[in-house]
Amino acid sequence: MLGTYLPIIVLLGVAIAFGLGSVVLSSLIGEKKVTPVKVAPYECGIDPVGTARERFSIKFYLIAMLFILFDIEAVFLYPWAILYKKLGLFGLVEMGLFIIILFVGYIYVWKKGALEWE
């Protein structure tokens, strides 16, 4: 019984040893000279503007959550497209209802003004 799990245990041991070995070797061999350039915050290759403690508008988070919501719902279209022929008319009706509900949610968000960027 142990023979079947032995390759997995060996692979796990090698992976852990490699990870720990890399961290330990880089801390022992690596250069530890701290310069102002190394400790400066990096922002797309330009000097940062403002502070990191700046408040963001709630609109930013609302748009981000809506994007994630609609993006995840769009992911459900892929399995349906793969099994389209096997599902037949039932699958078509179910996906039609899904898209209608998604569209109603989109219209609701649009009417509420959540997609307006001010």
Q: What is the pLDDT of residue 113?
A: 82
Task: Pick the closest to residue 115 from 72, 69, 68, 64 (CA basis).
Answer: 64
**SS3 letters for 56-94?**
CCHHHHHHHHHHHHHHHHHHCHHHHHHCHHHHHHHHHHH
- Which amino acid appears at position 112 of this protein? K
Q: What is the mean pLDDT of the chain?
A: 85
Question: Among 2-16, 32-46, 79-93, which stretch is predicted with the lowest mean pLDDT?
Answer: 32-46
With respect to residue 70, please indicate whether it lies within any of the assigned structural domains: yes
Q: What is the pLDDT of residue 89?
A: 92
Structure confidence at residue 14 (pLDDT): 98
Q: Is residue 17 included in any domain, yes or no?
A: yes
Count of domains for the chain: 1
Over the stretch 24-66, which tens digit does the pLDDT of each residue have? 999 999 888 888 877 777 767 777 777 767 787 777 888 888 8
User: 105-118, pLDDT tens digit by residue?
Assistant: 889 888 988 777 76
Helices and strands per DSSP (H, E), number in the chain: 5, 0
CATH number at residue 50: 1.20.58
pLDDT of residue 7: 93
pLDDT value, residue 100: 92
Longest alpha-carbon distance in the chain? 67
Domain membership flag for residue 118? no
In a domain, 117, yes or no: no
| Structural domain of 93 | 2-112
Residue 88 lies in a domain: yes
